[in-house]
């Protein structure tokens, strides 16, 4: 009923333009005479034409009573004034005007006679809140984001406490993006491991209400696509990271020294020239999901890593390489 009511709400010229684009329009036009030029629609299975349905008149009266530009927001679930377009949230590889929610005008993406963001109604308050938060996470120098290949990931905790702050900073260090340089390359990662152990064991107090979120984004021509989403508690996430440390332990010639590696180092060692920006999107996404969700690597990633190892000359083989750490859990 809503779709029908919106159809009739448009001008006669607009309606004529729409129906004349239908493949059957030519047959309709030939059968219309000047005397009988009115016609209506009938829903499949109905006996009455839509113009006879009381529901349409009742729907129109109901909307008229509500008045104003008050509509239900998809984000908050509350009514308010909607935005026509949303603020740009540019990520690496996207256009400066790229947005998370956007609709091309007159390009076949509109539904039920709606245009722009009316297709995905968002109130002004909600739009300001989510775009401001996302742009803050994406800002230059942020320790709440990282890039792998052409994918951008942002992460944050729901609470403002010690555990949440240490979780965010430790994850950034684990990913291998910390600017802090140390003589011992393992020292920083071991420090991160200790933080996650403290959170998991309860030494650093957390609450079941304290959540941790990770959002993965990919660039497109005019929009930004969501490719990954995770929501978990701090303790559950700490358990997954500790599982990652266990999976990547490698017994090597250094015996007591275990070459833990950041996720970025693991991916860079299987790309041309060691650049994470050259990593295939599938590999980057799969490694992130494997670590953050505690699941096995896909067959594609395992085969890719095996192939890379096979191509390396035996003279260049060194125990404890990061990519061998990726494969180690699947070769036991």
Q: Is 214:263 a contact under the CB 8 Å cutoff?
A: no
Within this chain, do residues 182 and 305 fall inside the same structural domain, yes or no?
yes
Within this chain, do residues 218 and 326 fall inside the same structural domain, yes or no?
yes
pLDDT band at 123 (very low <50, low <70, confident <90, very high): very high
How far is residue 164 from each of residues 1, 171, 174, 176, measured CA to CA in Å?
Answer: 48, 11, 15, 19
Q: Is 119:109 a contact under the CB 8 Å cutoff?
A: yes
Which residues are CB-contacts of 53 (< 8 A; sequence separation ≥ 6)?
1, 4
- Per-residue pLDDT reduced to its tens digit, 32-68: 665 556 667 777 888 777 777 666 555 555 554 455 5
Within this chain, do residues 189 and 324 fall inside the same structural domain, yes or no?
yes
Within this chain, do residues 75 and 189 fall inside the same structural domain, yes or no?
no
The parent domain of residue 89 ranges over 69-139
Closest CA to 330 of 296, 307, 304: 296
Within this chain, do residues 160 and 216 fall inside the same structural domain, yes or no?
yes
Within this chain, do residues 174 and 315 fall inside the same structural domain, yes or no?
yes
Within this chain, do residues 114 and 17 fall inside the same structural domain, yes or no?
no
Closest CA to 1 of 51, 64, 72, 76: 51
Within this chain, do residues 214 and 281 fall inside the same structural domain, yes or no?
yes
The pLDDT assigned to 64 comes to 47
Q: Which of 15, 45, 67 is the last residue of a domain?
A: 67
Within this chain, do residues 262 and 316 fall inside the same structural domain, yes or no?
yes
Three-class secondary structure of residue 235 per DSSP: helix
Q: Which of 139, 161, 193 is the last residue of a domain?
A: 139
DSSP state of 116: G
- Per-residue pLDDT reduced to its tens digit, 248-293: 776 555 555 555 666 777 777 777 666 777 777 777 778 888 888 8
Within this chain, do residues 128 and 249 fall inside the same structural domain, yes or no?
no
How far is residue 175 from each of residues 75, 196, 262, 292, measured CA to CA in Å?
Answer: 31, 14, 5, 11
Within this chain, do residues 34 and 132 fall inside the same structural domain, yes or no?
no
Residue carrying structure tokens 């949230």: 89
The pLDDT assigned to 108 comes to 65
Within this chain, do residues 187 and 100 fall inside the same structural domain, yes or no?
no
- Per-residue pLDDT reduced to its tens digit, 156-190: 999 888 889 999 988 888 876 655 555 555 667 77
Domain count of the chain? 3
Is residue 94 over pLDDT 90?
A: no
Q: Which of 118, 139, 160 is the last residue of a domain?
A: 139
CA distance 205 to 241: 17
DSSP letter for each residue of 8-46: HHS-HHHHHHHHTTSTTHHHHHHH--SS--------TT-
* The model's pTM: 0.66
């Amino acid at each position: 009923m809503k779709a029908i009511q919106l159809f009739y709400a448009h001008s006669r010229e607009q309606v004529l333009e729409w129906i004349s684009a239908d493949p059957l329009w030519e047959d309709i036009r030939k059968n219309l005479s000047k005397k009988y030029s009115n016609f209506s629609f009938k829903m499949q299975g109905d006996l009455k034409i839509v113009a006879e349905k009381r529901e349409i008149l009742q729907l129109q009266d109901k909307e008229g009573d509500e008045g104003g530009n008050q509509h239900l927001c998809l984000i908050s679930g509350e009514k308010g004034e909607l935005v026509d377009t949303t603020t740009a949230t540019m990520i690496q590889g996207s256009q400066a005007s790229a947005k998370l929610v956007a609709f091309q005008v007159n390009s076949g993406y509109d539904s039920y006679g709606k245009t722009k963001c009316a297709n995905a109604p968002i109130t002004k308050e909600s739009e300001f809140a989510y775009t401001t938060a996302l742009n803050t996470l994406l800002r230059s120098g942020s320790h709440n984001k990282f890039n792998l290949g052409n994918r951008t990931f942002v992460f944050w905790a729901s609470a403002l406490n010690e555990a949440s702050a240490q979780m965010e900073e430790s994850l950034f260090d684990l990913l291998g993006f910390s600017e802090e340089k140390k003589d011992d390359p393992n020292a920083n990662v071991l420090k991160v491991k200790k933080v996650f152990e403290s959170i998991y064991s309860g030494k650093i107090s957390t609450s079941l209400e304290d959540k941790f979120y990770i959002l993965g984004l990919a660039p497109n021509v005019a929009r930004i696509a969501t490719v990954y989403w995770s929501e978990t508690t701090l303790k559950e996430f700490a358990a997954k990271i500790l599982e990652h440390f266990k999976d990547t332990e490698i017994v090597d010639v250094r015996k007591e020294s275990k070459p833990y590696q950041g996720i970025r180092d693991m991916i860079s060692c299987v790309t041309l020239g060691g650049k994470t920006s050259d990593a295939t999107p599938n590999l980057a996404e799969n490694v992130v999901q494997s670590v953050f969700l505690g699941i096995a690597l896909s067959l594609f990633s395992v085969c890719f890593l095996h192939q890379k190892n096979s191509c390396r000359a035996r003279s260049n083989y060194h125990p404890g390489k990061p990519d061998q750490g990726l494969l180690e859990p699947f070769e036991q």
